[in-house]
Each structure stands twice: as structure tokens, then as C-alpha cells.
Structure 1
């Protein structure tokens, strides 16, 4: 496990090896379930995310993760869709911790990082593929609605799991959520890739007028109060709502379906800084994933796309040709040019003759017509 980076770069990451108790969950879980540590170590790499690697990252509102067998169903579905990291909301697990969850009918497993309150009400967390779980900087719970997972890479990556208050919740709870989210963003290095993923309980609608910098061409429905809050927050923090950038059939855009089977909407989102907006290759729902939730699994593929350094432009020097309008300068120019041509060697090679002519002209203009 690598040494954690300078602690001041991250929001109160604390000691990665201390026990979790509602304050901090280690990014390097203890393997106390019979898993062979030596087998795990062979997957350890010094860099998780590089421009060569593509990750499948998901977000999923589970409604519950505490029933017997529910966690195994969740990791089975994530494994089936090749998910490397899933930001999970409404886990309804109490307190904070980590656990290994075996994929049914497989030798593979995922590591579950979670945080919740004293009551089984909300809760956020992550399911992380075992090949990545050994290369995390830290898992930091913020509240029962927010957590952050930080990972090594060519550019360090921070995935914020978010579960926003619903439309009917109080304005105070909504304000508190976005204040904490803003503080979290401000505490992270701007040069890093920051991805917000989760159930934001917002409808941003299809009208992007005035929101062109944050809203793409493929929104759905009408904006509600939570949608306005989300758009305003994105605009203030230079974020892009990635769901709206990709064209898909309607069924692959809708992330939530009411129990009555009639009301449907987009409530689950991926947001990223504008400079990294092209790092997400698509966003769509995976309707086949099933864990008895009214939300669909939403998946994206992420690949860091670094800008190549632009070569320094070499601007050609401008010459002051106006001097040739002076008769005295004209006479001097002709004399210098005659002397240059007289000094040329005779040759039958056209390329050599051209090179000599060009060199003579350059030396002549360098002498008479200075650069400006």
C-alpha cells in the first residue's frame, strides 16, 4: 500500500489504518474473511487510472442493503455488468465499515465501503472491485448523504457518492446538503478528476436555455425545484451534467420508475468538472440489473484524456521592406546582391544552385532590411 499523499490536499482524510466509527473508514480493509492476502497482492499496481485504462463506474440507489442475501445480489449484478466501482445510495446500513462480499458462484469478490446513521434511513457507500481496492488513497464518509473515495492515477481521482434530499424535504435539509457538497469540492485539488455520482433527486428537464455550460442537448421532462438547485450548483462549480450529453433511447435515459409503473424520471446523475467532460464516454441505464429497487443501475465508462502539450509556435520574423523605397538603400542593396552572386560557385546541380541563391538573398536582406 502506498503512502498517502500530503494530507492537506484532502478533506480530513485522517489515518487510513484507524478503525471506522462514523468518522473514517480505511481504504485498506483487513482481510478477515479467509481471503488469501498474497493472492490479493498480485493485483496491486502503482497506478489505478491512466490514459490507457477504461473503467466502468456506476451509481445505484439500492433502497436497502441490510437484508440477508441482498449484498450478494448487488455484487452479482455489478460483477455481471463489469463494474469496477459503484457509488451506492440508500444502503440503510448503520454506522461505518468495510466488508468483503463474495460474488455468488464465483471466486471473485467486491469490497463494500459504507456509512450510515444510527437508523436504517439513508446511507451511502461504494462497492469496489478487488483489483482496485488495494490502490485507494482513502475512503472518507462525510455524512449519511455524502462520502468520498480517492484513488491513485496519472491524475488522482475522487468519486463523491451523493444522496440528495427529495423534492418534498425541507429547504434547510437541501441547503445543508449542497453546502457540505460545496465544502467537499473546495477541499479537493482542482487539478484532480472529481466525479459526483448518485441519486440527486432532481429533475433538470430538457430546457437548457441559460444553462448551456452545464446542461447538454438530451435532457428529459420539466425542471423542478431540486433540478434548479442542481443546475445552479453545477454552474457555480464549473460542473457538467454528463447524463444530458449523450443521446440514447428514452428507456436508457430514465433512471427511476415509480411503484405504480407510470411515473418515470431521471434522478441519478454523473457530474464532472468541465475540463474532464470528455473523459466520460457515455452514460446510460442498465435495465437488466435487478436488486428489487425502483432505481436502475446507471453506468458510465471513464477514461482520462490528457491534452497533448501544444508545440511552441515559431513566428516568422517580419522585415522592414519599406527601406527599399529609399534610392540610396536600393543602390546599396543592388551592390550587396551583386557581390553575393559574384561569390557563388558554379555548379550544374540545380538543388545546390537553388540553395546558394536562397542563402545569398537571405544574407543580403539580413544586411539591408532589418527585422521589426
Structure 2
């Protein structure tokens, strides 16, 4: 048994990212699923919310962001154990939502984003990456970053030239959006977690 003032207890949390397709009138179903799989923080995309809001739902706190026509939309859901540890919320455009979570001496920036689908207006895609770069520039180098989103990309299975950010597990061929994601990861010293096993 260890005791004394040098004992450090690290808090852990479970994270998920999910493109839900449509959330209207299904918030409690979402909360039930998150509770069942024991997730503490979830990034949800394609919620089709309109505008920006925060609300409590059961023991959870939800921050929502969407455009006025009700397409797309993102949301971050935090459970009762962590909702009081959120110290900041940022919204960039109508596709990026970020929260700052303080756990002991560690700071986590959790970002939820939803990229335009392939074939949509290129200006919207450029604006998304400009907003992502702006957000990253505003973060302290010592803080941790978790991005959960639907970037509508295909990083592909080939990881040559991207070994530092791509773990080699992917599907199919890389598209232009996949290249943008990989370049963003290199620029900001991130990795594409779902390509590592």
C-alpha cells in the first residue's frame, strides 16, 4: 500500500465521436446510449440543430452548434462527473465547437467538427480548415488536444510519407480531403487515431 503526499491520482475519461445523422427529438435516446457504453465525453456530428445553445439533460450537459437552415450541426455531450470541469467553450463558424476540460493539472481541448461532404462548395472547405488552424493557434502547446469529428475524408490505407501521423490501418484510396486531414495532422503534431491499433 502506498500513501503520503506524493501519491498522484490521475482522472481518466472515456471519449467517443459519432455521426448521428439526425438528432431532432432524440436527445434522450442519445443520452441513454452514452450512459450504456459509459462514455464521459462525446462529440456528435450531423445533429441538425439550429443556432448555438447549451442545455442540461438528465445528468449531462450539452453544447450545440448549427447553422440556421438546420443542416449539419455539432454537439459535445459531457456527463455528470466532468461537466463541472469545463472552463471554456468556443464556437468557430457553424461547424467547429470546442470545450476546455481541466482534470487535475492536465488541460484537454476537445474539438468537435463536421466537414462539408465531398463535392460541396470548395470555399466552405477552405473556411473549415482556416477555422481549424485559427483554433489550433489559440491553444497552449502544453494542453492536450482531442478532435472528434466527421471530416468526410478517406485517409486510405497507404501511409507512405505520413508514417508519423497515419498508423497504416485504413481502408481504400486516399482522397483530396484525406490529404488535407493528414497535412493538418503533420502541421499541428497530431495523429489520426483510428489508423493506429
- What's the TM-score once normalised by structure 2's chain length? 0.91
2:190 to 236, 239, 244: 239
Q: Distance between the aligned counterparts of 1:133 and 1:53, measured in 2?
A: 14
What SS does the corresponding residue of 2:82 show, helix, strand or coil? helix
1:63 to 3, 8, 21: 21
What SS does the corresponding residue of 1:232 show, helix, strand or coil? helix
Unmatched 5+ stretches in structure 2: 1-7
What SS does the corresponding residue of 1:206 show, helix, strand or coil? coil
**Runs of 4+ displaced beyond 4 Å:** none
Query: Is 1:125 equivalent to 2:81 in the alignment?
Result: no
User: Which string of whole-angstrom CA distances, capped at 9 and with x for unpartnered residues, describes residues 136-191 of structure 1?
Assistant: 11122222210111011222110011101111112221111111101100111011
User: What is the aligned partner in structure 2 of residue 221 from structure 1?
Assistant: 172
Alignment of 1:280-295 (within 5 A): none
Query: Is 1:95 equivalent to 2:51 in the alignment?
Result: yes
Alignment of 1:199-210 (within 5 A): 199-210=150-161
Q: Distance between the aligned counterparts of 1:173 and 1:117, measured in 2?
A: 13
Q: Distance between the aligned counterparts of 1:224 and 1:96, measured in 2?
A: 32
User: What is the aligned partner in structure 2 of residue 148 from structure 1?
Assistant: 98
Does the C-alpha gap of structure 1 residues 92 and 51 become closer, same or farther in structure 2, counting only changes over 3 Å? Answer: farther
- What's the TM-score once normalised by structure 1's chain length? 0.49
CA drift of 1:54 comes to: 2.1
Query: Is 1:162 equivalent to 2:113 in the alignment?
Result: yes
What SS does the corresponding residue of 1:134 show, helix, strand or coil? helix
Q: Distance between the aligned counterparts of 2:67 and 2:9, measured in 1?
A: 38
Query: Is 1:196 equivalent to 2:147 in the alignment?
Result: yes
User: What is the aligned partner in structure 1 of residue 4 from structure 2?
Assistant: none
Does the C-alpha gap of structure 1 residues 51 and 215 become closer, same or farther in structure 2, counting only changes over 3 Å? Answer: farther
In our comparison, the structure showing a higher alpha carbon Rg is 1
User: What is the aligned partner in structure 1 of residue 181 from structure 2?
Assistant: 230
Unmatched 5+ stretches in structure 1: 1-49, 103-108, 247-372
CA drift of 1:51 comes to: 6.4
Report the aligned-residue RMSD: 1.4
Alignment of 1:12-51 (within 5 A): none
Q: Distance between the aligned counterparts of 1:222 and 1:169, measured in 2?
A: 20
Alignment of 1:204-353 (within 5 A): 204-246=155-197
CA drift of 1:53 comes to: 2.3
Alignment of 1:348-359 (within 5 A): none
